Structure 1
């Protein structure tokens, strides 16, 4: 059943739908990872990293909503279920319990590296079939790269 007719041709819709679904999964998982380490960070830089993690989580959550709504507008039903995120994300996991502030920085740099790399591939994939989606992904990637830079600066 299709509620909305996609303005894109079938092959373009498939390419763009795959890009948006992948972005949705990665952004949801990034927000979950960010919250997990947010709750468990310890160390002398606790406060600054704790607050910085809130910014990443907010960014990822807002972006995931934007991505899901773009998918819906193109007649691609977004799938943000926990099972789908767990099965298809590459963000990675963290151990349970307390996490040293320096380790949180490393975790976030690695997670953002993975998500940014995949977002850049999606930007390239959506260039021809849908510049509107590409533009959306470019903006989100710019925000993620800003957070990546800020976490990397923590280890400088």
Structure 2
């Protein structure tokens, strides 16, 4: 549809109006499915990390309590960025609770209070599961849309860092016997 706008009596400009603004690159069904898979795991990760945040008890409570909010923040930013990328590609994200519960690869988190050390293990598994989903779809996403793959790169790095931060609480230095015996000499 074309109309003429006359800004002044001596000028007229032709303007083409579109019935909608649905031009541009459109996600294939496979790309939309891969991004949806990442989306539901990121949403589930936020929920699991918040559940742990509210219910942990025990040693180093405060440090883990605060770190879990960092995990939530990364997952929340990631889910928003992936969902908005999907919309930019004319795909429809589905973050409804029933969809997330039915589609996430993240194991269920136990109800009630949980010891900080148990929570650490469960959160690291949840983060690693989310990252594994991203890595599994990465090559397919990259071949369809390198821009979406760049988003995955950013969140893989951020979440792997969070897994390190959270999981380091339970780690012990490697080769402690070798260090101890050399220090005693």
Query: RCO higher in 1 or 2 (8 Å CA, sep ≥ 6)?
Result: 1
Which residue of 22, 47, 66 corresponds with 1:4? 22
Q: What pairs with 1:54-133 in structure 2 (closer than 5 Å)?
A: 54-133=69-148
Secondary structure, counterpart of 2:133 in structure 1: helix
Q: Deviations over 1:71-121 (max 9, x none)?
A: 000010110000000100011112211000000100011111111111111
Structure having the higher strand fraction is: 2
Q: How many residues align?
A: 152
**Rounded Cα–Cα distance in structure 2 between residues aligned with 1:110 and 1:63:** 18
**Rounded Cα–Cα distance in structure 2 between residues aligned with 1:31 and 1:135:** 21
Q: 1:137 to 1:31 in 2, by over 3 A?
A: same
In the alignment, structure 2 segments of 5+ residues that lack a partner are 1-19, 172-185
Q: Deviations over 1:111-136 (max 9, x none)?
A: 11111111111212112111000011
**Rounded Cα–Cα distance in structure 2 between residues aligned with 1:63 and 1:5:** 25
- 1:135 aligns with 150
Q: 1:70 to 1:95 in 2, by over 3 A?
A: same
- 2:59 aligns with 44
Instruction: Using structure 1 for the length normalisation, give the TM-score.
Output: 0.92
Give the CA deviation at 1:5.
4.0
Q: In 2, are the aligned partners of 1:3 and 1:75 still within 8 Å (CA)?
A: no
Q: Which has the larger radius of gyration?
A: 2
Moved over 4 A (4+): none
Give the CA deviation at 1:15.
2.1
Q: CA RMSD in A?
A: 1.4
